[in-house]
């Protein structure tokens, strides 16, 4: 079905938004392409990947016939906007090339691999007037919006402390392996796993006034980290713990003067409030629960297209993406090592001389 | 020396790589299979080599030029068997001076044969089990050794120490009340600290007979389950731990009866809601199913309920299921009853464990508290999870 409600001058009535997916690796192939194909508002007109055969394979897999190119500059004539789902350190150049041609961009989180590169993208967007959205897709969950409303309404009382944690032994495995290099990923588990919550934390409580950070990096991207945030205006203190080696149930717990909120990190989770001194718990859920949570990637794409057409800010704009980048860099700047001599005090037995003998 | 560590993203492989990278006399080639599970080694900022053991050419290319190879890899049966075959072939072609292969005491079965205190015990794991695959690997390595490849097989029990996933499971079970102690926890809990194991691998790279025979590798001081629980109490607090008798434990782990083939049950299964839900994905079957359900509704609610009951059967409620469910797999390990001994490794490798059981557990506690933020004001919130 062609979209007729779009009212931007750039998109003729009766034509869908022409979308390029730049990067046909894991996230592009598994999440963005099916979400775009499920939307009535867009048409995937181009697939871009330096490995052209991979893009062709993806096109065959989904039964589509887009323009395929190794570089986004070759398809700018064929698109209204692009989703950039490439390694973090490549976001900047691709986004700036699109924005310079007044093509809107939805960039898979994080905005870039560094604050400076993120700023470059935001400035290019300001200059071009095109839409810039950052792919913090969990913001499109109904339950996240509900929790925000409940917090703003003071439903749970005064928030004193929160903890968020998420961890798994392994997980997301990008084809390019960019996540194994600090320079290309812009960090480690904080960026890969933690940045979704950092974005939501800024959304819920604003920018913290002070912070502490520890991680286990020894030159590479950290596999474990923990952060403490303090918000001086409200006295709120928060903690975040992330791991790429240890399983940690993904959950946000909020302690208030009236009880405790437990919010599991999933599309369908409910907001559970356990008032102090009461044996009952209150469960909050959306009224339209029968429909379940719609695909957040599709909702994100449709928000992006409508922001482009209506010339309004998207749900997560470049400034918000940049605030997350600033927070990440500020955390890394105050980094302390988590590593310690865990066996301190234990004197290892003398190493036999066989090693020394045979390695001469 | 140029040492390839196959499976360098795992617990043992990454610990070994971290130790070896500090040695000036050798070059390490850490080989990883997935970019998603390499966090522990990637944090070191060293160059990593992608390796798919099922890709024979890639294995040959990687091993070429290496003087020593350590195999810590895990995977599905194909990776474990076909992948190892590729690795052994590559090692022979590259004329590596030593292969150290990690086996497991699982080769002695579960529970292990009573004579497996030493390496010569009977190795008769259940067909298809993890131990069965590891035993098949041991035989392949032994054959390669007989054909001229210098190879050592190290055979550890569960691995403890900093970052130990096994000890983390015990911590979780204690917090959730899922661990019951058999006969006061007197049964042995065979462990080896990961640093002790990595140290033994270092030794095996350069010493010992390399005859492809298995070598048990444990901590020096045998620990009991009571010792393990006791050593974790400073971390988890005084959590209540129930006891369990041998008979009750054996009854709990008894394999459920295999359902008999029944034509009636098979027909009922075909019309069950699970099967119909799958069929409804096809538009034709969806229409047929809708028509059938419409027909059933015409019979009235009671008749529809009776029909559903006939198809699905009554809802089963387990009696006496009020206490926290036990982690049967973990509890069952107390029936193993054998203390594996590392005398051969001591004798032939010169192995002396670097750390005692108590030192290992103390290190684990320190690490766990920091990495789970249990040393912060958020600890009560986290522990409540």
Q: How close does chain B come to A345, measured CA to CA in Å?
A: 8
A219: nearest CB among B45, B199, B202: B45
pLDDT at residue B157 greater than cutoff 90:
yes
**A88 near A178, Cβ under 8 Å?**
yes
What confidence tier does A10 reach under pLDDT thresholds 50, 70, 90? low
Share of chain A above pLDDT 70, in %: 92
Give the model's pLDDT for residue A14: 77
A169 contacts in B (CB within 8 Å)?
37, 165
Share of chain A above pLDDT 90, in %: 80
**B70 near B4, Cβ under 8 Å?**
yes
Least Cα distance to B108 among B128, B132, B84, B127 occurs for B132
pLDDT digits (tens, 9 = 90+) for A326-347: 999 999 999 999 998 999 877 6
pLDDT at residue A1 greater than cutoff 60:
no
pLDDT digits (tens, 9 = 90+) for B344-366: 999 999 999 999 999 999 999 99
Using the Cβ of B38 and the Cβ atoms of chain A, whether some distance falls under 8 Å is answered with yes
Give the model's pLDDT for residue A179: 84
Give the model's pLDDT for residue B258: 55
Using the Cβ of B379 and the Cβ atoms of chain A, whether some distance falls under 8 Å is answered with no
A346 contacts in B (CB within 8 Å)?
355-356, 359, 362-363
What confidence tier does A160 reach under pLDDT thresholds 50, 70, 90? very high
Q: How far is CA B55 from CA A67, B84, B89, B141, in A?
A: 33, 11, 12, 19
**B251-258 long-range contacts, Cβ below 8 Å, gap at least 24?**
B252/B326, B252/B328, B252/B331, B252/B332, B253/B328, B253/B331, B253/B332, B253/B335
What confidence tier does B324 reach under pLDDT thresholds 50, 70, 90? low
Buried-exposed string B295-330: b where 16+ CB fall within 10 A, e elsewhere:
eeeeeeeeeeeeeeeeeeeeeeeeeeeeeeebbeeb
Q: How close does chain B come to A358, measured CA to CA in Å?
A: 6
**A85 near A22, Cβ under 8 Å?**
yes
Contact B37 A171 (CB under 8 A): yes
Phi first, then psi, for residue B322 (nearest 5°) are -85, -35
SS3 per-residue string spanning A45-75? EEEECCCHHHHHHHHHHHCCCCEEECCHHHC
**A51 near A312, Cβ under 8 Å?**
no
Give the model's pLDDT for residue B312: 65
Locate B199 and state its tokens.
């140290």
Interface of B with A in 202-231 (CB under 8 A): 202-203, 206-207
What confidence tier does A37 reach under pLDDT thresholds 50, 70, 90? very high
Q: Which residue of A has its CA nearest to B194?
A: A343
Least Cα distance to A50 among A28, A32, A71 occurs for A71
What confidence tier does B256 reach under pLDDT thresholds 50, 70, 90? low
In a mutagenesis test of the B interface, which of A30, A255, A355, A357 is the best target, namely the one with the most B β-carbons within 10 Å? A355
Domains in chain B (CATH in brackets) are: 2-253+334-384 (3.40.50.720)
Domains in chain A (CATH in brackets) are: 17-138+300-317 (3.40.50.720), 142-291 (3.30.360.10)
User: Would you say the C-alpha torsion A71, A77, A78, A80 has a positive or negative sign?
Assistant: positive
Q: Which residue of B has its CA nearest to A263?
A: B385
Q: By three-state DSSP, how is residue B144 classified?
A: helix
pLDDT at residue B305 greater than cutoff 50:
yes
Radius of gyration of chain A (CA): 23
Give the model's pLDDT for residue B290: 81
Using the Cβ of B366 and the Cβ atoms of chain A, whether some distance falls under 8 Å is answered with yes
Length of chain A: 360
pLDDT at residue B304 greater than cutoff 90:
no
Give the model's pLDDT for residue A169: 86
What confidence tier does B303 reach under pLDDT thresholds 50, 70, 90? confident
Residue found under tokens 């009880």: A259
Q: How close does chain A come to B362, measured CA to CA in Å?
A: 7
What confidence tier does B36 reach under pLDDT thresholds 50, 70, 90? confident
Q: Which residue of A has its CA nearest to B14?
A: A245
Contact A352 B364 (CB under 8 A): no
CA angle in degrees (0–180, nearest 5) for B308-B314-B316 = 145
Segment A277-281 mean pLDDT? 91
Q: Which residue has the higher pLDDT, B240 or B140?
A: B140
Give the model's pLDDT for residue A182: 86
A359: nearest CB among B1, B359, B373: B1
Segment A310-317 mean pLDDT? 96
pLDDT at residue A356 greater than cutoff 60:
no
DSSP A294: P
A188: nearest CB among B43, B203, B356: B43
A344 contacts in B (CB within 8 Å)?
366
pLDDT digits (tens, 9 = 90+) for A66-97: 999 999 999 999 999 999 999 999 999 999 99
Give the model's pLDDT for residue A180: 86
Locate B87 and state its tokens.
């690795």
A340: nearest CB among B23, B360, B370: B370
pLDDT at residue A4 greater than cutoff 60:
no
Q: Which residue of B has its CA nearest to A222?
A: B43
Share of chain B above pLDDT 70, in %: 94
The DSSP annotation for B276-343 comes to HHHHTTSHHHHHHHHHHHHHHHHT-HHHHHHHHHHHH-PPP--TT--SPPP-HHHHHGGG-------H
Contact B371 A246 (CB under 8 A): yes
A359: nearest CB among B43, B206, B381: B206
Least Cα distance to A118 among A126, A129, A110 occurs for A110
pLDDT at residue B107 greater than cutoff 90:
yes
Using the Cβ of B39 and the Cβ atoms of chain A, whether some distance falls under 8 Å is answered with yes
B352: nearest CB among A172, A343, A352: A352
Phi first, then psi, for residue B212 (nearest 5°) are 75, 10
DSSP A29: I
pLDDT digits (tens, 9 = 90+) for B57-75: 999 999 999 999 999 999 9
In a mutagenesis test of the A interface, which of B33, B42, B350 is the best target, namely the one with the most A β-carbons within 10 Å? B42
pLDDT at residue B275 greater than cutoff 90:
no
Dmax (CA) of chain A = 81
Least Cα distance to B272 among B310, B318, B315 occurs for B310
Using the Cβ of B384 and the Cβ atoms of chain A, whether some distance falls under 8 Å is answered with yes
Least Cα distance to A242 among A228, A224, A266 occurs for A224
Contact A226 B363 (CB under 8 A): no
CA distance A27 to A172: 9
**A59 near A34, Cβ under 8 Å?**
no
- Residue pairs between chains A and B whose CB atoms are closer than 8 Å: 157
Contact B350 A354 (CB under 8 A): yes
**B255 near B194, Cβ under 8 Å?**
no
Using the Cβ of B371 and the Cβ atoms of chain A, whether some distance falls under 8 Å is answered with yes
A167 contacts in B (CB within 8 Å)?
none
The DSSP bridge pattern shows strands A248-256 and A159-167 to be antiparallel
CA angle in degrees (0–180, nearest 5) for B76-B97-B106 = 35
User: Would you say the C-alpha torsion B348, B350, B356, B360 has a positive or negative sign?
Assistant: negative
Phi first, then psi, for residue B245 (nearest 5°) are -85, 160
Q: Which range (A168-177, A284-293, B278-287) has the least confidence? A: A284-293
Number of other CB atoms surrounding residue A301 within 10 Å: 27
Give the model's pLDDT for residue A33: 97
pLDDT digits (tens, 9 = 90+) for A109-146: 999 999 999 999 999 999 999 999 999 999 999 999 99
**B113-122 long-range contacts, Cβ below 8 Å, gap at least 24?**
B113/B338, B114/B337, B114/B338, B116/B338, B116/B340, B117/B338, B117/B339, B117/B340, B117/B341, B118/B216, B118/B341, B118/B343, B118/B344, B119/B155, B119/B213, B119/B214, B119/B215, B119/B216, B119/B344, B121/B338
Residue found under tokens 């036999």: A352
For chain B, give percent helix, strand, coil, nearest 5. Answer: 50, 15, 40
User: Would you say the C-alpha torsion B69, B75, B78, B80 has a positive or negative sign?
Assistant: positive
What confidence tier does B314 reach under pLDDT thresholds 50, 70, 90? low
């Amino acid at each position: 079905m062609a979209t007729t409600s779009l009212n931007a001058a750039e998109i003729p009535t009766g034509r869908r938004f022409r979308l390029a997916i730049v990067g046909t690796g894991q996230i592009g192939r598994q999440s963005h392409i099916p979400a775009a194909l499920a939307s009535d508002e867009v048409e995937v007109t181009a697939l871009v990947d330096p490995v052209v055969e991979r893009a062709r394979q993806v096109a065959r897999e989904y039964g589509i016939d887009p323009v395929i190119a190794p570089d986004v500059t070759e398809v700018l004539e064929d698109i209204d906007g692009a989703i950039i789902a490439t390694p973090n350190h490549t976001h900047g150049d691709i986004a700036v090339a699109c924005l310079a041609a007044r093509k809107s961009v939805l960039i898979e989180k994080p905005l870039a691999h560094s604050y400076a590169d993120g700023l470059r993208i935001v400035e290019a967007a300001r200059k071009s007037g095109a839409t810039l959205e950052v792919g913090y897709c969990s913001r499109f969950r109904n339950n996240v919006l509900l929790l925000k409303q409940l917090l703003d309404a003071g439903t749970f009382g005064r928030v004193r402390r929160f903890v968020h944690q998420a961890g798994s032994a392994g997980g997301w495995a990008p084809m390019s392996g960019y996540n194994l290099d600090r320079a290309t990923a812009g960090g480690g588990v904080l960026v890969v796993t933690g940045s979704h919550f950092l974005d939501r934390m800024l959304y819920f409580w604003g920018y913290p006034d002070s912070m502490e950070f520890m991680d286990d990096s020894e030159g590479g991207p950290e596999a474990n980290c923990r952060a403490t945030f303090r918000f001086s205006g409200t006295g709120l203190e928060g903690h975040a713990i992330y791991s790429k080696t240890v399983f940690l149930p993904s959950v946000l717990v909020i302690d208030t003067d009236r009880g405790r909120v437990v919010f599991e990190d999933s599309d369908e989770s409910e907001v559970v409030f356990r008032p102090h001194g009461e044996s009952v718990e209150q469960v909050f859920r959306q009224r339209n629960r029968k429909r379940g949570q719609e695909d957040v990637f599709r909702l994100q794409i449709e928000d992006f297209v409508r922001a482009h057409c209506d010339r309004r800010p998207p749900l997560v704009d470049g400034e918000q993406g940049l605030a997350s980048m600033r927070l990440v860099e500020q955390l890394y700047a105050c980094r302390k090592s988590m590593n310690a001599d865990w066996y301190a005090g234990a004197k290892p037995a003398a190493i036999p001389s066989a090693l020394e003998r045979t390695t001469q | 020396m140029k040492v390839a560590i196959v499976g360098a993203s795992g617990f043992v492989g990454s610990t070994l790589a971290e130790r070896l990278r500090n040695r000036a006399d050798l070059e390490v080639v850490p080989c990883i299979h997935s970019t998603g599970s390499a966090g522990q080694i990637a944090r070191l900022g060293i160059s990593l080599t992608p390796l798919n053991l099922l890709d024979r050419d890639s294995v040959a290319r990687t091993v070429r030029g290496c003087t020593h190879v350590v195999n810590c890899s895990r995977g599905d049966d194909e990776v474990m068997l076909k992948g190892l075959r590729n690795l052994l072939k590559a090692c022979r072609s590259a004329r590596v001076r030593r292969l150290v292969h990690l086996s497991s005491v699982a080769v002695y079965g579960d529970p292990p044969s009573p004579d497996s205190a030493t390496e010569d015990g009977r190795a008769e794991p259940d067909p298809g089990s993890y131990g069965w695959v590891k035993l098949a690997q041991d035989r392949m390595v032994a054959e390669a050794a007989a054909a001229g490849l210098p190879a050592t097989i190290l055979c550890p029990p569960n691995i403890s120490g900093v970052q130990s996933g096994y000890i983390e499971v015990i911590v979780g079970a204690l917090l959730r009340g899922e661990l019951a102690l058999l006969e006061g926890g007197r049964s042995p809990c065979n462990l080896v600290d990961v640093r002790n194991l990595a140290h033994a691998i270092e030794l095996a790279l350069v010493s010992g007979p390399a005859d492809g025979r298995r070598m048990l590798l444990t901590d020096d001081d045998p620990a009991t389950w009571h010792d393990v629980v006791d050593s974790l109490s400073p971390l988890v607090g005084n959590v209540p731990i129930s006891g369990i008798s041998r008979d009750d434990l054996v009854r709990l782990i008894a394999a459920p009866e295999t359902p008999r083939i029944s034509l009636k049950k098979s027909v009922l299964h075909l019309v069950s809601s699970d099967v119909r839900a799958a069929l409804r994905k096809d538009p034709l079957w969806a229409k047929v199913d809708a028509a059938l359900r419409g027909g059933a509704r015409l019979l009235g609610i009671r008749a529809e309920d009776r029909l559903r009951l006939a198809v699905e059967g009554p809802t089963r409620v387990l009696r006496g299921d009020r206490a926290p469910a036990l982690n049967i797999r973990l509890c069952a390990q107390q029936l193993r009853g054998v203390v594996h001994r590392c005398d051969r490794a001591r004798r032939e490798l010169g192995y002396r464990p670097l750390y005692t059981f108590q030192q290992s557990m103390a290190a684990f506690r320190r690490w766990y508290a920091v990495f789970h933020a249990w040393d912060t004001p958020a600890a009560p919130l986290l522990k409540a999870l």
